[in-house]
Amino acid sequence: MLWGALAVSIPILIHFLNRRRYVVRSFAAMAFLRQAYAQRRKRLRMENLLLLLLRCLVVLLAALAMALPFVPQDSLFSIVTGGRTDLVLVVDRSGSMGRLIGPDTTLDDRVLERVRNQISQLEAERGDTVTLVTPGGGDLLPGPIGASPSAALEILDSGLPAPTGTADMVAALRLIKERVRTVYRGRLEIEVYSDLQEASWREKLGGLFAEILEDGGGSVRVLDVVGDAAPVTNVGVEALSAENALLIKGDVVSFVGVLRNHGDVAVRGLTATFRLELPAPSKPIVRKVTDIEIPPRGTVDLPLRLRMDKAGPQHLELTLEGDQLPFDDQRSLAFEVRDGIDVLLVDGQAGANPLDGATAFLDMALDPTADGDDLGIVRFSTHVLDVRSFEEAGRDLYRYEAIVLANVDLVSEQTASLLEDVVRSGTPLLIFTGDRVDPDMATERLGRLLPMRIGAVRGDPKGTGEQDYVTLVLDDPPAPQLELFADPRLAVLLQVPVLAWNELTPWESVPVEPSATSNEVEEQRSIDGDTEAEVLAWFADSLGQVTPAIVQASRGLGRVVLFATSADDSWSLLPRQPATWLPLVHELMSALTAQDSALTNLPVGQSPTLIVDGKPESARLLSPSGAIENIGRPEVSSHGRRSLLSLDSTPLREAGAWSLEIEFADPTQPQRSLALAALPDAMEGDLRRLDGASLDQVLQGVDYSLGEQVDEGEDSEGAGGGDGSLFRALLWSLLAFAVGEVLLSRFMGGSR
């Protein structure tokens, strides 16, 4: 806007253009006129120059005012800066602020009352503004930047979400730096209301504060909200989990809850309650654990074994006796118990005898009741198809919850494309190689699904060659899918000879030039955002040399596991060893088909993203407190016959058990319910606070003041000083010069 100062040339130009041109006329009384003109000429010149100066100053002041200049507090011009206050209130809304300090009164209640008093002292007529930043409770910015005092009070009166999450002070300061500071270039008064919990002040913040104040200046004031509240010893529920990855109706499931003592004194005689909420109309199952003792700063595990007699979405809650921090006295776990898993086995080598097929040993391991014997709980229900029937299955592939390809040699491009769609929509795929698998054809037809490229066959299937056999070995620690074999007593079960196997090569190491197909695979992968392969197990020979044996990668919404040997006994002796084969196959298939617990159990404040069958038309979200939020048009992206449902606009702001009811666009598709849980941050239960020296370290590099402790009844000290802006001073100066120019013009016009 300072380029507008060039307009000062306009009154100068007008001044020269308006200079009078005189015509010389000689007459007898000229001597008397010359004498009169000489007397007035000097006065007229001074008046004209003064009038020109006033007009130029009016233009210059207008340009300067529109440029919004400001000066720091220690500038000589600070005495003429604006008197308004631009106040930024950073209010800690983390879970620890829910600490009780009196009957039905929390630290948060005290702080919000203090903040109201602080805002009430500001004056809208003076142009005072308020920006609320609330780390740890709902939106980081609950209102507009630079709200009027009355608007800020309306935000507080409308009710902020309860303190739940962790106060991310770094994110709060970055927001002030990147958004608030770009709006207000002058002085900022920053006040931080916090309980100074160590968990929220772990990182260095002085540099960020200094960057915020670098341009326009300002001040930082930290107010300790704990005040006279007595120190407390807190015990909270740190974790709640199921040891089983896949929960099937009829299973006896092991759960474990973890309690943590955040204090320096042992806690004895504590009571905890497990409560399993079952689908209606079943009554909940309640189990109590009494006389719990937890050492100082220690933990204790509470095991629970329950038989899952009901299928469907369920919640397990672990609750402690109430203490001064209710925030972490309860934790929920959301999960779904399934009736069973339908698995499609595609056999690339069907035979006349039961054990001749490539899927025979898989069929017996996954579904031992296939021959009609009742052996109790059936986790997997298998359906075997040969390659030809697989080609004819078409869209029916979507009905299966997992697909296995065993020694499948060749599928058509149409079937390969359909299989890719099914897998990318969420159906897991397990692939075994074999003597019928052609590496080049597999790359051409299934390359966009394979975690690694299938290479040449190594070893000798008959075991008569010079090359030694290999055995399975695991990393230390093993991948979660095979952590069962971390037990040394079970690890020996993997020492079973594998006589032949395919060499697996990472896609990144495939040369670019020999095959255009490899380039196409890599390009498609980058578009789909697929993950790189993870090695779950290795083949190791007698010399200790290893090569990938079992690899996994995500493909779209689904996962693909590639086992680099056969599923029958033609290449490997693994299927002939039930003690090894059964747990190996079950662990792989359970990990593949189990729902990701992280999708339904989220940190407080996070929005769920879920995979559902069909196309959702509407949804209802039920909170732990019973509030219902109707979602008319949820955000949905289609993936084949499945959908990815994103609830970005409805984060789970309240800790506890949530439920989501989904209505589908297809009227014949029944309503579906999903169990969700919002998990509090366990570290919020640790109420250790910063002392003065530690706070100095955290805020090193910025001048700050540690305000008085915020006690009940204390009067808040209002923010002082102006915002450093010269805008108002320039406008008043402009008005004064404009009035002077008008008066001078009238005087000069009248006197002439």
Q: Are 93 and 134 in contact (CB under 8 A)?
A: yes
Closest CA to 87 of 113, 118, 126: 118
Q: What's the pLDDT tens digit per position in 645-686?
A: 998 888 898 899 999 999 998 888 999 999 999 999 888 899
Please determine, for residue 198, whether its predicted confidence score (pLDDT) is greater than 70: yes
Instruction: Show the beta-strand stretches assigned E in 446-519.
Output: 453-459, 471-473, 500-505
What tokens does 590 get?
Answer: 């359970």
Res. 513: pLDDT tops 50: no
Let me know: does 313 contact 334? Beta carbons within 8 Å: yes
For the cut 80, the answer to whether the pLDDT of residue 75 exceeds it is no
- Which among 141, 87, 376 has a CA at the least distance from the CA of 248? 376
Helices (H), 121-272: 149-157, 169-175, 181-183, 206-214
- Nearest residue to 407 via CA among 335, 356, 477, 453: 356
- Which pLDDT belongs to residue 510? 46
Rg of the Cα atoms in the chain: 38
pLDDT digits (tens, 9 = 90+) for 26-37: 666 666 666 666
pLDDT of 71 reads 62
Lowest mean pLDDT among 158-167, 455-464, 517-526: 517-526
pLDDT at 231: 74
Query: Cα separation of 639 and 556, whole Å?
Result: 9
Q: Are 669 and 614 in contact (CB under 8 A)?
A: yes
Q: Where are the beta strands (DSSP E) in 377-441?
A: 380-386, 402-406, 429-432
Token pair for residue 690? 């910063």
Return the minimum-mean-pLDDT range out of 250-264, 368-382, 610-624: 368-382
Q: Cβ-count burial of 751 within 10 angstroms (0-12 exposed, 13-18 middle, 19+ buried)?
A: exposed
Distance of CA 660 to the CA centre of its chain: 20
pLDDT of residue 20: 59
DSSP E strand stretches across 493-556: 500-505, 534-540, 546-555
376 has a pLDDT exceeding 60: no
The band of 254, judged by pLDDT with boundaries at 50, 70 and 90, is very high
Q: Of 190, 257, 193, which is closest to residue 217 (Cα–Cα)?
A: 190
Instruction: Tell me if the bond preceding 616 is cis, omega within 30° of 0.
Output: no
Ordered domains of the chain (ranges, CATH): 2-69+728-751 (no CATH), 85-229+695-725 (3.40.50.410), 235-338+598-684 (2.60.40.10), 341-458+501-533+549-593 (3.40.50)
Residue 337 tokens read as: 């118990």
Instruction: Give residue 141's identity as a one-letter amino acid code.
Output: L
Looking at 97-101, 124-128, 222-226, 746-750, which range is the least confident one?
746-750
Is this structure's pTM higher than 0.85?
no
Residue 423 has pLDDT above 90, yes or no: yes
Instruction: Kindly list the distances between the CA atom of residue 579 and the CA atoms of 365, 573, 583, in Å, as whole numbers in the listed order.
Output: 11, 12, 7
How many residues appear in the chain? 752
pLDDT of 226: 87
Cα separation, 34 vs 308, whole angstroms:
119
Over residues 615-634, the mean pLDDT reads 91
Structure tokens at 334: 């959301």
Q: Which residue has the higher pLDDT, 308 or 65?
A: 308
Range 232-258 average pLDDT = 92
The pLDDT of residue 222 is above 90: yes
pLDDT at position 584 is 95
pLDDT in tens, 344-362: 999 998 765 667 789 999 9
- The segment with the largest mean pLDDT, out of 134-138, 403-407, 458-462, is 403-407
User: Does position 569 have pLDDT exceeding 70, yes or no?
Assistant: yes
